[in-house]
Structure 1
Amino acid sequence: MAQKITAIKGMNDILPPHSAHWEWLEGQVREVMSRFAYRNIRTPIVEPTGLFVRSLGEVTDVVEKEMYSFEDRLNGEALTLRPENTAGVVRAVVEHNLLYEGGKRLYYMGPMFRHERPQRGRYRQFHQIGAEALGFSGAHVDAELILLAHSLWQALGVRDVRLEINSLGQPEERKAHREALIRHFEAHQELLDEDGQRRLYSNPLRILDTKNPAMKDVVESAPRLLDFLGEASLQAFETLQQILRAHDVAYTINPRLVRGLDYYNLTVFEFITDSLGAQGTICAGGRYDGLIEQVGGKPAPGVGWAMGVERVLELLKEQDLLPAAPVPDAYAVIPDMQSLPVAMQALQQLRQAGLAVQMHATPTGEMGSFKSQFKKADASGARFALVFGADELAEGCVTIKQLRDGAGEQSKKPLAELAQWANSLQSQD
C-alpha cells in the first residue's frame, strides 16, 4: 500500500457538515454587502513578490518572516502566495483602470497564506472576507466601512464584540512622532526585547504593538501619536466619532492601535472579542490613501477592512449561533435494482421541483435490505422516506413515510401527480 499523503500542517480541509457553516456565513456576507452596494472582486492567489514588499513594507513581520515566496522555475519571476488581499485588490484596480469612472466599493472572499505557528484561529492557510472603498476621501466613508462590519455582526447575532479606533495621522505627523518614539525607546533601550531592538530605527511604531508583557510599562509611557496630529487629522477623527455616536456604535479610542502594515494613514480600527483568547481580533482595517500610488496608480484614496473567517466561525460556535447542518427533505428507499429506473426518474422530478432528495446507494452496488435502508434514511436527517417497492410501483405510486414528526405515519401518492404533491415534502424550519 502506498504511503498516505496528508495535508500540509496549518492548511486544513473543510469538510461536511462544517462546510455548510462556511456557505451560510458567506451567504450572510453577500446579503449585507449587497445592501451597502459593494460588488465582488476575485483576484489571483499568487502575486508578484514585489507587490507585497512595496505595499506592506520591507520591515513588517509579514514580509520579513511569514510570506510563502518562491521563484517561478520557468521564467525566474519572484512570486508569493498572497498573505493579505488589499494589495491585490489595489493592484487589480490600477491595472484595469477601475477608477476611471469614479470610486469603487468592492469586497472579496478567499484564502490567504502566512508561514506562522498554527494555533486556534490562526492557520498557515486562512481565509478572509474583506471590503474596500477606493477613490473616496472623508471620514464618512471610514464610518461607512465600520457600519458595514457592525451590520454584519447584527445580521449574524454576534454579541460582545467591541470596537477600538485610532488615528495614525498623515506621514509628516507620523514622522515627528517617530522621532519622538526613537528618543523615548533609546532612553530605555535595555527594556526592549529582541524584536524591539531590531525595530528601534527601522519601524519604531511597531514596537507599540508588542505582545510582550515585560515591555508594557515602556510602551505605555511612550509618546502618543494623537498628540502629534494636526488640525485636519484631528477633525477627521472627530467626524468619524460623531458619525459612530449618531448610529449608536460603541467604541473606545486605543492610542496604541497601530496595525501591522505600513500602508495605513488616518483611521485605523479593530473589532475584538474576549471569547477567543489571544486571537481576539476578528476584523480590522483602516485608511490607506497612499497605497494606490505606491503600486503604480494615479494618487487616489482608499479605506477597507478584512475579517478572519475561521475566527468569526469560532466565535459563532462559542455563542451557539451556527445554524444546523442542512439535511435532505426526503430519502429514497429502493428495494431492488428493477425499481431503480422509475425511482431515479421520480427523484429528478422532485429535485426539479426544488426538493433535496438523497438516493440510497452502497459501496457494493447492491441496494441492501429494507432495514438497512431505513436505518440510513433515519441517519440522514430527512423528514420523509420515499419507498419505491414493487407493490407501490405496480400501483403507479410511492409510499411516503414520516421519519420525524408523526414518525411511522405513511401514505401513498401517485407518481403521475408528483408535481401536485411535491411541495408537501418541503422541510420546514
Structure 2
Amino acid sequence: MATKLQASKGTHDVLPDQAPERLALERIARRILEGAGYERIETPAFEVTELFSRGVGGSTDIVQKEMFTFEDEGGRSLTLRPEGTAPIVRSYLEHGMHKLPQPVKLWYWESFFRAEKPQAGRYRQFWQVGAEAIGAAGPAVDAELITLLHAILSEVGTGSLKLRLGSLGTPETRAAYRERLVAYLRTHEDRLSAEVVGRIDLNPLRAFDADDPGTREVMANAPLLLDELAPDDAEHFAAVRARLDAAGIDYVIDPTLVRGLDYYTRTLFEFETDALSSALGGGGRYDGLAEQLGGPATPGIGWAAGVERILLAAEPAPHRVAVCDLYVAGEGVTAFALASEGRRAGLSVQQELAGRSTKGALKQAARLKATAVAVVDDAAGTIHLKDTETGEQTVVPDTTAVIARALKGRHPG
C-alpha cells in the first residue's frame, strides 16, 4: 500500500473549522484599514531574487539563510517572497504610483515563505496582514500606521498589548554609530557568541537580539543609537510619540529595538502580547528603499503582522453556525431547480446530496439549524415545506411559492 502523503514539514493546512476565525480577522483588518483610506494590493508569489538582495539587504538572515530561491527555465534567479514591503515598493515604482496623490496607502493579506525553524505560530509558509504608506515623510503617518495596527490587535483581543518603540535615525547617523558599535564589539569579542562575532562587520545591530548570556551581558553596556540621534531625527521621534500620547496609546521606548531588515530608518516599532512569546507584528520607516531599488528618493513606512500568531494569541471566538435558510431534501430535477432558484433569490440553500432517506435528510437539516425544509418528491410531483421553528408542514404548489415562503421566514440580517 502506498505511503500516506502529508503536508511538508513547516507548512500547515487551514481546515474548514479554522477558516471563520481567519475570515473574521481579515474583515476586521479590511474595515479598519480601508476606513482609513488604505487600498488592497496583491503582488506575485515570486519575484526576481535581486529585489530582496538589494531591498532587504545581503547581510540579513532572510537573504543569507531563509529564502526559497530557484532558477527558472530562462536561467533567471527567482525567490518566493519572504516579506511584503520590497515587492510593494517595486510595484509603486513600476506602475507610476508617484503620480497619484501622496501618500499612496496600501494594505495586503498574503502568504510568504521563509526557510526558518518551525515553531508555534511560525511556519515556512505563513500569512501576514500588512499596510504601507508611501510618499509622506512626516511623523503623522508613522503614528497613524501604529494606531491602525493597535486597533486591529485590540479588536481581535490578543491579550495585554505592549508597544516597543525606537528610532534608527538616518543612514548617516546610523553609519557613524555603527563604527562605534563595531569598535565596542571588537573590544569584547572574547565574550560574544560565535554567531555574533561572525556578523560584526555585516550587521552589528543584530547583537542586541542575541539570546546568548555572554553577549547579552556585553550588550547591556553597549552604546545606544537613541543617544546619538541627529536633531531632526530626535524631533521626528518626539513628534511621533506626541501623537501616540494624544491617541492614548501606551508604549515603551526601547533603545535596543532592531529589526531583521536593512531598509529601516527612523521610526521602528513592535507589538508584543503576554499571550505569546514572540512578537505579533511590527514595522518602521524605510525612506531609502525606493532608491535602493533604482527609483527616486521616496519616503515610506509600513508594518506586517503574522496572521497565525494573531490567531494563536486571540481570544477564542464564539462558534458561529452558518445560516441555512432552506434545506432541500431531494436529489431530482425539481429539487435541483428549487435549490438553484433559492440561491438566485438570495437565500442560503443547502441540498441533500448524500442519498439520505427523508428521515435522514430531516435530521441533517436539524443539524444545520435550517429555518425551512422542502421535501421534494419528483415521482409524486409534490413539495412539502416544513417550518422547523413551528413544526408546521404544508404542501406547496410550486418552487416559486417555496421561495416566497422561505424569504418571508428567513433569518434576520
TM range (shorter): over 0.9
The Cα of 1:385 is off from its aligned counterpart by 5.0
3-state DSSP class of the match of 1:423?
helix
1:375 aligns with 2:363: yes
The alignment status of 1:384 with 2:371, answered yes or no, reads yes
The residue type equivalent to 1:110 in the other structure is: E
Aligned partner of 2:307 among 297, 309, 318: 309
Describe how 1:24-423 pairs up with structure 2 within 5 A: 24-72=24-72, 74-103=73-102, 104-277=104-277, 279=278, 281-316=279-314, 319-321=315-317, 324=320, 326-334=322-330, 340-362=332-354, 367-379=355-367, 381-390=368-377, 397-402=384-389, 409-412=391-394, 414=396, 415=398, 416-423=400-407
CA contact 1:135–1:301 (8 Å) conserved in 2: yes
**Letter aligned with residue 328 of structure 2:** A
1:154: how far off? 3.8
Cα deviation for residue 4 of structure 1 reads: 3.7
Describe the superposition over 1:126-164 as per-residue Cα deviations: whole angstroms up to 9, x where unpaired.
011110100111111101111111222344344411211
**2-side partners of 1:165 and 1:382: how far apart?**
49
Cα deviation for residue 382 of structure 1 reads: 2.5
Question: Counterpart of 2:259 in 1: which secondary structure?
Answer: coil
CA contact (8 A) 2:153 2:310 kept: no
Distance in 2 separating the partners of 1:392 and 1:383: 25
- Could you report, residue by residue, the CA deviation over 1:27-50 in whole angstroms, capped at 9, with x for unpaired residues? 221111111101111111110111
Unaligned runs of 5+ in 2: none
Relative to structure 2, which stretch is displaced further, 21-30 or 105-114? 21-30
Cα displacement (A) at 1:394: 5.2
- Hey, what's the Cα distance between the residues in 1 that align with 2:290 and 2:378? 71
Between 10-19 and 121-130, report the one with greater CA deviation.
10-19
**What secondary structure, in the 3-state scheme, does the structure 2 residue paired with 1:127 have?**
strand
Unmatched segments (≥5 aa) in structure 1: none
Tell whether 2:413 aligns with 1:426: no
Which residue of the partner structure matches residue 23 of structure 2? 23
Residue 241 of structure 1, CA deviation: 0.5
AA aligned to 2:402 is L
What CA distance in whole angstroms lies between the structure 2 residues aligned with 1:290 and 1:47? 20
Q: In the TM superposition, what is the alpha-carbon distance from 1:255 to its structure 2 partner?
A: 0.9
Task: Give the superposition deviation at 1:400.
Answer: 2.8
CA contact (8 A) 2:325 2:406 kept: no
Structure 1 residues 284, 14: closer, same or farther in 2, change over 3 A? same
Instruction: Name whichever of 417-426 and 140-149 sits farther off.
Output: 417-426
- CA change 1:394–1:86 in 2 (3 A) is same
Distance 1:198 1:347, change over 3 A: same
Tell me how far apart the structure 2 counterparts of residues 392 and 211 of structure 1 sit (CA, whole Å).
74
Shift of 1:397: 4.4
1:390 Cα deviation after fit? 4.0
Length, aligned pairs only: 410
CA RMSD after TM alignment: 2.2
Instruction: Give a deviation string over 1:288-319, Cα, whole Å, max 9, x none.
Output: 00000100111110000011111111122xx2
Deviation, 1:375, is 3.3
Q: Please give the secondary structure, in 2, of the residue aligned with 1:123.
A: coil
TM-score, normalized by length of structure 1? 0.90
Question: Residue 401 of structure 1: CA displacement?
Answer: 2.5
- Please give the TM-score of this superposition, normalised by the length of structure 2: 0.93
Distance 1:392 1:240, change over 3 A: farther
* TM-aligned CA deviation for residue 22 of structure 1: 1.7
* Equivalent position SS for 1:332: strand
Instruction: Give 3-state SS (helix, strand or coil) of 2:280's partner.
Output: strand
Deviation per CA, 1:241-275, whole angstroms, max 9, x where unpaired? Answer: 10000010111111111111000000000111121
Which shifted more, 265-274 or 185-194? 185-194
Structure 1 CA distance, aligned partners of 2:380 and 2:98?
Answer: 63
In 1, Cα distance between the equivalents of 2:318 and 2:83? 26
Distance (whole Å) between structure 1 residues aligned to residue 26 and residue 42 of structure 2: 14
Deviation at 1:232? 0.6
User: CA distance change for structure 1 residues 396 and 323 in 2, over 3 Å: closer, same or farther?
Assistant: closer
Percent identical pairs in the alignment equals 39
| Contact 2:10 2:123 survives alignment (8 Å) | yes
Distance 2:300 2:153 in 1: 23
Q: What is the SS of the residue equivalent to 1:201?
A: coil
